[in-house]
Structure 1
Amino acid sequence: MNLTRRELTARLGAIGLLWLTAFAAQAISTDAEAINKAGRQRMLSQRIALSYFMIGVNANAAEAAQRIDAAVAEFHGNLMELRDYAKDPAVQAALDKEAQVWGAYSTLAVAKPNPAQGAQVLAQSEQLLAACEDVVQKLGVKAGTGAARLVGISGRQRMLSQKLGKYYLAMAWKLNAPDLESGFQKTLQDFDGNLQQLLAAPQNTPAITTGLNRVKADWALSKSVFTQYKQGRFAPLIVSSTSESILKQMDAITGLYVALAAGKK
């Protein structure tokens, strides 16, 4: 995807329009909503890298470019909303750090993908994830435990679905970066552990339990595909599809936890 200056200008203009749409969303009014929004930032940081690598391995490249544009726009909007909501100095400082890392990362994200730059995207996606995680943790301390905490865990599953795809596609692209396989394996373990923790949560409603059981079934199928990389077999199209499916399901479940934290049934 070699962008001319005119194409890049048009693309940045489209991102601007998407950003205005994202920013027009309903303002944050509760801690649970803030944790959910901050958790989406974690997911978006990984979604951008996953989509970048989709272009690199030529797996639905046009769709991947659209995902990057939408994710960049949403991240901008979420950051502004979180800054408007957060009054705690520690949270504000964490958001400032997130914004600083985001500036460099977003510039890389909309450029033409290449393996050398891909290593930078991978590294900066980790840096941005850490900054976003810090915001979630500080909001979590402010919110306490219970259902609001489950919002954070469930939201983290959204991120892990994208992080797994990121590592997998980076390996498929044969990206020259350290610790790809170990990072992939750790992320697999993290998703497994979090899913078990959510399934065992006493606060779960029947709708949440049903949703989690669906994710559990899809996750079993995903793992069978993931493990084939050890035999040198990669299926980028399948992984990009299953990552998207799990993301959508976990997003819906996170919304149910947000409603639960707000006292809604």
Structure 2
Amino acid sequence: MKKSYVSLLTVLLIGTNVLYAKTGHKSTTSVSQKVKKDNIIDLAGRQRMLSQRIVKDYLYKGNKVAVGRADKELKTSLGEFNNALKKLDQSINDAEIKNLLSFVQMSFDEFKDTVSHSYDQDNAQIALDLGESLLEGSQYVVDSLKSKQGTKGSKNAKIIAKSGKQRMLAQRIAKYYIAYQSGIKDKNTVDQMKSAVKEFDANHKELMAYKGNSTTINQKLHDVDKLWKIVYKFYLGIEKGGLPFIVFKTTNDITKKMNEITKLYATH
């Protein structure tokens, strides 16, 4: 499933590039003036987090862990992802990025269809694959928006993207934790979890050291730091298991805090 979506993404990108070559048109920065570019990057970046959260919630609900919270969060996140897709489509005129948004929409529609069916191991694996397609497409949109900003404001765009990615990584950690507990106990699940923990830790240190932080941002990052130093060991104990509710709650707490920090960077 994942390979077919990646292949489709490649075809879409090649098709777009061929069109540019034939017409002689150059891709231009065409984000509408109604919405600030940094806020658009934040919005697109949040889609990465939602791509992981909706899969996580589906797996938690299916495994009957934190069912009430997971069900409520899944419904909310599906609505947020869909609304953000519409807002991005309305705010961006660049043909290449809009092409990517069309791909993300296709993957999202398939995901909604998958989670509308009863939970089983097959649907869990399909949901995981579709989540990766959503993440890959959303990441490409963020990268394209950053590159089309040019050198002006690029430093701020990068720090917003990095901070925003922390939201995604927190949800990704919870996703792979519950995937392993649900029976998807392959090497990839463990490797992806540990990779997410490692990247979050590296990004966190970089954000803490960033000299452009305001006092408020520094305070909030220190709050995240206190929590992270305690809980990251729980996440690395994925093969031991036994802490799915704690993982659900703490990764949500971190996501919430990083969302606040990212908003501050976007308006800084």
Q: In which range does the TM-score fall when normalised by the shorter chain?
A: 0.7 to 0.9
Question: Is 1:28–1:34's contact at 8 Å kept on the other side of the alignment?
Answer: no
Equivalent residue for 1:113? Answer: 119
> How does 1:10-89 map onto structure 2 within 5 Å?
29-89=35-95
Whole-angstrom distance in 2 between the partners of 1:233 and 1:76: 33
Give the Å deviation of 1:148. Answer: 2.1
Identify the range of structure 1 (93-102 vs 40-49) with the bigger mean alpha-carbon deviation: 93-102
Instruction: Map 1:75-224 onto structure 2 (within 5 A).
Output: 75-144=81-150, 145-175=154-184, 179-224=188-233
Query: Runs of at least 4 residues of structure 1 off by over 4 A?
Result: none
Contact 1:49 / 1:121 at 8 angstroms: preserved in 2?
yes
Distance 2:104 2:149 in 1: 20
Between 159-168 and 60-69, the greater mean CA deviation after superposition: 60-69
Q: Is the 8 A contact 2:190 2:238 kept in 1?
A: no
More moved, 48-57 vs 102-111: 102-111
Write the letter of the residue equivalent to 2:70: A
Q: CA deviation at 1:190?
A: 0.9
Say which SS state the counterpart of residue 29 (structure 1) adopts.
coil
Give the alignment partner of residue 241 of structure 1, picking from 246, 249, 252. 249
- Aligned-partner SS, 1:229: coil
Letter in 2 for 1:250: M
- Gapped regions of structure 2 (runs ≥ 5): 1-32
Q: 1:162 to 1:156 in 2, by over 3 A?
A: same
Shift of 1:162: 0.3
User: How many residues are aligned here?
Assistant: 233
How far apart are 1:177 and its partner, in Å? 5.4
Q: How high is the TM-score relative to the length of structure 2?
A: 0.83
Cα distance in 2 between the residues matched to 1:182 and 1:227? 10
Write the distance in 1 (CA, Å) between the matches of 2:185 and 2:191: 14
Shift of 1:178: 5.7
Q: Residue 233 of structure 1: CA displacement?
A: 3.2
Partner of 1:9: none
Amino acid at match of 1:168: Y
C-alpha spacing 1:110/1:64, structure 2 compared with 1 (3 Å): farther
With normalisation by structure 1, the TM-score equals 0.84
Q: Identical aligned pairs, as a percentage?
A: 27
CA RMSD of the aligned region, Å? 1.6
Q: CA deviation at 1:175?
A: 1.9
The residue aligned with 2:10 is none
Alpha-carbon distance change, 29 to 217 in structure 1, aligned in 2, over 3 angstroms? same
